[in-house]
Amino acid sequence: MNNIYFIINPQAKNGYCQKVWSQLEKILMEQKISYMAFFTEYSGHAEEISQTIAAKAEGNRATIIAVGGDGTLHEVLNGAALFSNVQVAFIPCGSGNDFSRGFGIPKKPSQALFSLLKELDQHNPLFVDTGKIVTKDNKDIYFINNMGAGFDALISREVNRSRIKRLLNRFSLGKFVYVYFLLKNMFTYKPVSMDIKIDGRKYSFDSAWFVTVSNQPFYGGGMKISPDASPFDGLLNITVVHDLSRIKLLFVSITVFWGGHTKFKEVTALTGRSIKIHSSGALFAHADGEDIGYTPLEVSACHKALPVILDGNLKEEEVNMNDFY
């Protein structure tokens, strides 16, 4: 028995997701699909709902479909991460949607639903890697796209709290909100020294702007921060941006949209399975764009830990080819 549950964030992309759900409901009725739908009412609610569904399934197979942005999927993942009977899926209705870019999910929610229903019928889920963060207070947080600490986390924190995001979303320009906050903060942010231990080997940076740990290439609404990252290889891809003047940071930031930043000597790209991040002062940190507190943090790769309903024909090497999403 495979029970289907939708968890919908009606507020994603300024309420666009609520409208999308009305269209999806019609498709589900036409296709005579039986399901249950839950709407989130506050931040963190999707995680609670997902955990309750997973626990109540009592070992029976359950499919939890996140309908919203990357933040909703992040919460669904964190609620279900410890339940091996649960597979997850995603219908993108957020402002950034980096997960759907990196995993070849159709951009249009109705198409994503049709493709999902077909896959549910015809294929088994694909097992993808996730990342696990252990915070200073010993809390486990999972991510599917990426995590980061430093300047990028400050930006995602401000984006999450901003009204400008809502305004830009209204004109379908939501992804430019990151550019706005990058410009706003780049002249005042103070880079710090950072020690990063990767699989036992220590790397020190005197003046680091940020570190990002990626499971797939895209971040921040389509920037190709880690062009070589694959969610199937058991490795996490670490990008450290360091020793850059403010003006050069701006220049390098532009090149992130096509992955050109990796050619700069101030951008260090590494891979590993176990990563410890220490900084000279506590830095803001995010996971999948959601605030998670501060450094120090420990991060590890969980190889093929999460069953996800994806295009069964998706080739592992194709996940970062979705350039013109």
* Residues engaged in binding ligand ATP (CB under 6 A): 9, 11-13, 40-45, 68-72, 75, 94-97, 289-290
User: Phi and psi at residue 309, in whole multiples of 5°?
Assistant: -80, 110
From CA 149, how far away is CA 308, in angstroms rounded?
A: 27
From CA 310, how far away is CA 316, in angstroms rounded?
A: 11
**Closest residue to ligand ATP in the complex (CB):** 69
Nearer to ligand ATP, 41 or 140 (CB): 41
Neighbours of 207 (CB within 10 A): 13
The residue whose two tokens read 């919460």 is: 75
Tokens standing for residue 228 = 């070589």
End-to-end Cα separation, the chain, in angstroms:
35
User: Phi and psi at residue 257, in whole multiples of 5°?
Assistant: -60, -30
Tokens standing for residue 284 = 């803001």
Nearer to ligand ATP, 14 or 85 (CB): 14
Nearer to ligand ATP, 178 or 205 (CB): 178
Shortest separation between residue 69's beta carbon and ligand ATP, angstroms: 2
Nearer to ligand ATP, 16 or 203 (CB): 16
Nearer to ligand ATP, 70 or 119 (CB): 70
Shortest separation between residue 75's beta carbon and ligand ATP, angstroms: 6
Neighbours of 245 (CB within 10 A): 9
Nearer to ligand ATP, 124 or 172 (CB): 172
Q: In angstroms, what CA-CA distances link 215 with 106, 204, 227?
A: 19, 22, 10
Nearer to ligand ATP, 129 or 290 (CB): 290
Shortest separation between residue 108's beta carbon and ligand ATP, angstroms: 15
Shortest separation between residue 9's beta carbon and ligand ATP, angstroms: 4
Under 8 Å between Cβ of 320 and 297: no
DSSP string, 10-22: TTHHHHHHHHHHH
Q: In angstroms, what CA-CA distances link 100 with 21, 69, 109?
A: 17, 9, 10
- On the CB side of 268, CA atoms within 13 Å amount to 16
From CA 7, how far away is CA 66, in angstroms rounded?
A: 5
Shortest separation between residue 172's beta carbon and ligand ATP, angstroms: 12
Shortest separation between residue 268's beta carbon and ligand ATP, angstroms: 27
Cβ neighbours for 3, distance < 8 A, ≥ 6 positions apart: 36, 57, 60, 61, 62, 63
Shortest separation between residue 325's beta carbon and ligand ATP, angstroms: 13
Nearer to ligand ATP, 11 or 215 (CB): 11
Shortest separation between residue 47's beta carbon and ligand ATP, angstroms: 8
Burial level of 103, CB count in 10 A (0-12/13-18/19+)? buried
Shortest separation between residue 269's beta carbon and ligand ATP, angstroms: 24
Nearer to ligand ATP, 75 or 266 (CB): 75
